[in-house]
Amino acid sequence: MDSFEGSVAYEELSFAGVRLHQLNTATGKVFILSEIALEVFRESPTVFAKEMKEFRPKKVFSRRREILQTVTSLGFPIESSNTAPGVTLVTSETVEAILTDRRKWDLVHPFKMAVLKNYSQEAARLMAMGLYDKALPIALDAVKKGQAMFKPGPSFQMFSLFLLAAQANLGLKQADQCENFLGLASWLAVKETQDTTNIMRAQLSRLYGQLYALQGKHSQALQSFAEDVYYCSLEYGTQDVRTSLGFYNLGKVFQSKGEMEKCGRCCEQVLDIWLNALTDTVLGEGGPDDGGRMPISEAQLAEVIEMLHDILDIFTRKFGPNHNRNADIHFSLGLAFIHLGDNSAAYRSISASKAGFSRQPEKMAHYYESLAKLGVPDLSM
């Protein structure tokens, strides 16, 4: 999503060799009619606008300064009127109607798929920011658009959309609504067994686990998170970072049950996975700039940092502040911060691991020597 000062945010939609900009206005997502004229029909916006008067599509004429500034910055003309200049905006439904009326049938389905993808991505982005209240209506709109596209019956392509809506409801602790969407996704997975991948099964199991944990159904939550670990292990391996979340979720359920020994073992598994992965990524031959070995985004790594802090809290309460595993957590956090380019936070975390590593000279010397090659001061001095 792009924007600049005094403008409205927008996204680019690409489909069938065409690129359009979708503006995020206070009243919803809209497209610029003059851009449609130029990019889709290769016509003069003025002539096209006159033709649209005969067609009478649903549209809005906006004179808002921030919208005009955005349209101008994108290189599209402002329309003149009897009162003040403005720009004609149309919804995605109107764009579909125009494409159909002008017999651009080959563009209708690609356009609808591009809009659906945009809705899904925005809902996921908002949920990653914790803005579930804003993500839910967008996720529900995506479900509605998908159901309209994939008629007559539920299509397997709805699976990811049902999970999206389930996750948004779960984030708002709306258990019943979440369970309804998970049920729809489960039905599709059973109906299309051959097309349901291990990753899809893992995602479904994880959301069920989170739902059951919210409801206090510990046994069902443990079963679902164990299935998440199983399917991720089949796809990536047991030591892959993408499998670690399942182990962490298992640990949190055991913590809720007061079974701290089992919780600790799950958390140690998570720590070992991330310590090895971060060591290989940050201190390997490629150094911290070699992001190819870390199959997650920076936003996801920020969530991992929160997870490691939580495990540190669990271990501190269980073993005390000076346990050697705490040093591994501090060091893992330091490596994560290096990977994110936050050297100040990395220095603090690595410094906190020094006392624990002092009892492991080989590890301390090896790690600090590698950190020195990355430009981090020698903390052992």
Q: Is 17 exposed, middle or buried (0-12, 13-18, 19+ CB in 10 A)?
A: exposed
Q: Which of 103, 120, 142 is the last residue of a domain?
A: 103
**CATH number (domain holding residue 63):** 3.10.260.20
193, part of any domain? no
355, part of any domain? yes
Q: How far apart are CA 100 and CA 105, in angstroms?
A: 6
List, in order, residues 6 or more apart from 357 with CB less than 8 Å away. 327, 331, 363, 364, 367
287, part of any domain? yes
228, part of any domain? no
229, part of any domain? no
Residue 260 has what pLDDT? 94
Q: Which of 71, 103, 135 is the last residue of a domain?
A: 103
Percentage of the chain beyond pLDDT 90 is: 67
Give CA separation, 40 vs 43, 44, 276, in Å. 8, 11, 51
219, part of any domain? no
Give CA separation, 9 vs 6, 28, 210, 322, in Å. 10, 11, 33, 49
Identify whether the C-beta of residue 371 lies closer than 8 Å to the C-beta of residue 335.
Answer: no
**pLDDT tens digits for range 58-112:** 888 899 999 999 999 999 999 887 778 899 999 999 999 999 999 999 999 999 9
Q: How far apart are CA 239 and CA 367, in angstroms?
A: 21
Q: Could you tell me which residue, 319 or 107, shows the higher pLDDT? A: 107
Q: Which of 42, 74, 103 is the last residue of a domain?
A: 103
302, part of any domain? yes
- Which range (48-52, 71-75, 111-115, 258-262) has the least confidence? 48-52
Query: Which residues form the domain of 51?
Result: 10-103
Q: How far apart are CA 102 and CA 110, in angstroms?
A: 16
Residue 373 has what pLDDT? 53
How many structural domains does the chain have?
Answer: 2
350, part of any domain? yes
Residue 186 has what pLDDT? 97
Q: How far apart are CA 265 and CA 353, in angstroms?
A: 21
